[in-house]
Amino acid sequence: MSVHQSINNSVHLVEIKPESLKLWCPVDAVIAEDQPAIEWMDLHRIDFREPFFNETLARIDSEKRGRVLTTFDALLQFEKICDGLSPSGFILHSSRCGSTLVANACRAVKDSIVIAEAPVIDKLITRFFTDGPSGSAKELLYKLLLRATVTALGQRLKGDESHYFVKLACTSTLQIYRLRCIWPNVPFVFLYRDPVETIVSNLLSIPEWMRAEVNPAAAAAIVGVDEEHVTSLGSEEYCARSLGRFFAAVDANFDSRMKLLNYEQLSFDSLIAILNFFGIDPTVDEADAVRKVSRLYSKDSTSTRVFEDDSSQKRSAASGETYIAAERWAQSSYDRLNARVLSCG
């Protein structure tokens, strides 16, 4: 959807009092009038019940809710008057590894807000890759904008929310160091999966983050090669290199405020353990709801499709190139994470 269509046929930035944005949320980071802008949407009374943030926006699209575009400073102004919840936990992941199931388990907690892969958050995080060198003023600005965005999305849109979870896009894992600087006391969980199985899953339906041509500069930073080289990588190598870097970033920043969960360990008990790690002690009803979601396919918003473990199927379907790329670029850092899980019990 273009900016022209999404803002009621207007691309004009507006000056708006921060008080007027109460119960409105930042939903996208765009370019308007040749400058970076934030798109806000009136989301009062909305619950984010779908597996992904954009699916919620699609559900309410027909309601023709208000939208406005502001410059970035509106975020900083709004943060000062916003009484949004602080995050109870962040969910990071290496893609196609059960993180949506964890988000759904968080959603099973009464009065929770779960923001899953909101483009506005991950686009701001992407700025760190291309436009926020360490120690620069821009890095500080993006940290502040990111904090303000997360705060704004934690508003009590229905009035009674009490827990707030944020799931990020897999590529944001590479910015874990900065994320931990912004939220030093918030627990983080990292979901990951065998690299061969993950590559097979991503090759079946290639996600945007693997399309280097969409944003070559960011892609190069994600994969760890130069920009000229990144578009010539095969999909297996691109994915394997990315996974290896996700695993290594988590390994390098691991401490007691972080919990690791391998896809192989996903179960009702491990979901409850994650909620406990986030400071939640589920009631009997909430635990029942978690048990229910643990049996379903997590990305089915109708909650009817039953989950089936496809690990062996994925390994059988993997090509020789996939095994070679996984071994070369991701296996050792994957093994290091598994060793950490074993040593932490």
Partner 1 sequence: MPVVPIKDVVYTDFQGTGGILVDLKTKQYYQLNETGSLIWRGLEKGQTVEDIAFEMSTIYEVTPEHAKKSVETLLSNLETRKLVSRA
* One character per residue 127-156, x = contact with partner 1 (rule: CB under 8 A): ----------x--xx-xx---x--------
One symbol per residue from 153 to 192: x for binding partner 1 (CB under 8 A), - otherwise; what is it?
A: -------------------------------x--------
Please state, as a whole number, how many other Cβ atoms lie within 10 Å of the Cβ of residue 262. Answer: 18
Q: In what order do the strands lie in the sheet with 67-71?
A: 24-32, 35-42, 67-71
CB of 176 to partner 1, least distance (A): 17
DSSP 245: H
The residues near 31 (Cβ < 8 Å, ≥ 6 apart) are: 3, 37
| Binding letters toward partner 1, positions 230-249, x by CB under 8 A | --------------------
Query: Could you say whether residue 71 binds partner 1 (CB under 8 A)?
Result: yes
Of 10, 77, 231, 235, the one binding partner 1 (CB under 8 A) is 77
Among 4, 17, 58, 73, binds partner 1 (CB under 8 A): 73
Complex with partner 1: residue 18 or 224, whichever CB lies closer: 18
CB of 113 to partner 1, least distance (A): 23
Distances (CA, A) of 146 to 72, 143, 207, 287: 11, 5, 23, 32
Q: Which of 185, 166, 168 is closest to 125 using CA atoms?
A: 168
Sequence-distant (≥ 6) Cβ neighbours of residue 210 within 8 angstroms: 202, 235, 238, 239, 242
**How crowded is residue 291: how many other Cβ atoms within 10 Å of its Cβ?**
14
Question: Letter for the amino acid at 340?
Answer: R
Nearer to partner 1, 15 or 228 (CB): 15
- Least distance between partner 1 and beta carbon 128 (Å): 14
Question: d(Cα 298, Cα 216) in Å, to the nearest integer?
Answer: 31
Which two tokens mark 315?
């390994």
Q: Number of residues in contact with partner 1, rule: CB under 8 A?
A: 13
Q: Which of 28, 39, 42, 79 binds partner 1 (CB under 8 A)?
A: 79
| Binding-site string for partner 1 from residue 88 to residue 127, where x marks contact by CB under 8 A and - marks none | ----------------------------------------
Binding site for partner 1 (CB under 8 A): 71, 73, 76-77, 79-80, 137, 140-141, 143-144, 148, 184
